[in-house]
Each structure stands twice: as C-alpha cells, then as structure tokens.
C-alpha cells in the first residue's frame, strides 16, 4: 500500500530574508554540538522524527553517521529547555555558498511552546554566518530546505513566517509505513 506525499522546497537568497521569531519564555538555550557524536546525532534524529516518519537514516551504520557529523562545515545546533534537549537544526554546507537545513524539528513534548520558531530563526542565522566559523568556506549565498506533507502541521507556516519562499513542489507515491517512534519497536504515542 502507498501514500501520496507532497514535498516542498523553500529557500532564502539573502540574510535579509530572515524574519526571526521571538525567543520563548523560560530557560531555552541553543548550543552548537561541537564534538561530532554519531550517537547524539542519531538520538536527535529519532527523537524528533520518530512520530513523523523520518526513516531515511534509520538504516545507516555507525561509520555513515560519523561521516555525516564529521564533514567539514556540517553543524548541529540543539535547543535545550532547562537542560533537556528539545530539538535541533542540522546544517549541511554544499557547493557554491549553499547551505541546506537538512533536518529541523522538536521532540514532541516540546512542540507548541514557541521553541520551534526561535530554533529555526537561530539555525537559519547560523546557516547564513557558517563561513565565519569555517575558514576557507565561501560566504553563504543561499539557504534552503525541504518539508513534506508528513511533517508536523505547523512546519510550513513556520518556514514561511521565517522568510522562506517556495521554489519547488514534488508529489510522489511512497510505501505506507508506521511511524517508527524514537527507537526500534517503539511506536508514536
């Protein structure tokens, strides 16, 4: 059995496109995970994407995860609410000053509290100033991402409010699968 999935690609072509969200109340901090850790990256991926069918990286080996997190210029920025990981943004530097926001999202318990807009704003700003932290990289000229009809109901609105504009839409048929949950054998709540 299959389901129809719509994938939208969005971009910013200038740092002036970014429309930041207000910081949420409370003790929310965003910190770069500077030590490459495949274990931590996989934890974030499964904790955030487990209920929205993120499955493309579930079969990766430890070596493949290590390759992702150790790529020069690759960055993971983590939002913490009172010391607990709440979500993350993963940045992937590409050719010609392009940076992709490969993954972005919140762990389900932290959604709906204003953290997502703030985290996306912060992560997008870090995509724009990525070259400042990585000598020899070309300045960022474009930041892009994709979202799909399986993502959270507020994802597209958040991207649009942050100043991303649509540049592509694809519709495909994908095999229907249950949300894998945050670890093997665990379903969504």
CATH code, 2-175 = 3.40.630.30
Query: Taking all residues of the chain, what is their mean pLDDT, rounded to a whole number?
Result: 92
Q: What percent of the chain has pLDDT over 90?
A: 79
Predicted structure pTM score: 0.93
Listed in sequence order, the DSSP H helices in the chain are: 38-49, 62-70, 115-128, 130-133, 155-161
What is the Cα–Cα distance from 19 to 159, expressed in whole angstroms? 10
Q: What percent of the chain has pLDDT over 70?
A: 94
Going from N- to C-terminal start, the domains of the chain cover: 2-175
What are the pLDDT digits (tens) for 32-66? 999 999 999 999 999 999 888 888 898 999 999 99
pLDDT, position 182:
66
């Amino acid at each position: 059995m299959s389901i129809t999935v719509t994938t939208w690609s969005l971009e910013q072509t200038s740092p002036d496109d970014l429309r930041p969200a207000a910081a949420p109340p409370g003790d929310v901090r965003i910190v770069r995970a500077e030590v490459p850790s495949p274990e931590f990256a996989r934890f974030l991926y499964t904790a955030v994407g487990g209920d929205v069918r993120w499955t493309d990286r579930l079969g990766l080996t430890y070596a493949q995860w290590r390759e992702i997190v150790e790529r020069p210029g690759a960055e993971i920025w983590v939002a913490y609410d009172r010391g607990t990981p709440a979500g993350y943004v993963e940045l992937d530097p590409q050719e010609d000053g392009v940076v992709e926001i490969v993954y972005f999202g919140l762990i389900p318990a932290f959604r709906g509290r204003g953290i997502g807009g703030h985290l996306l704003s912060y992560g997008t700003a870090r995509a724009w100033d990525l070259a400042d932290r990585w000598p020899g990289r070309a300045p960022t000229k474009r930041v892009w991402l994709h979202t799909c009809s399986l993502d959270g109901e507020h994802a597209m609105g958040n991207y649009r409010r942050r100043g991303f504009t649509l540049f592509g839409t694809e519709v495909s048929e994908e095999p229907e699968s249950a949300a894998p949950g945050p670890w093997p054998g665990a379903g969504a709540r």
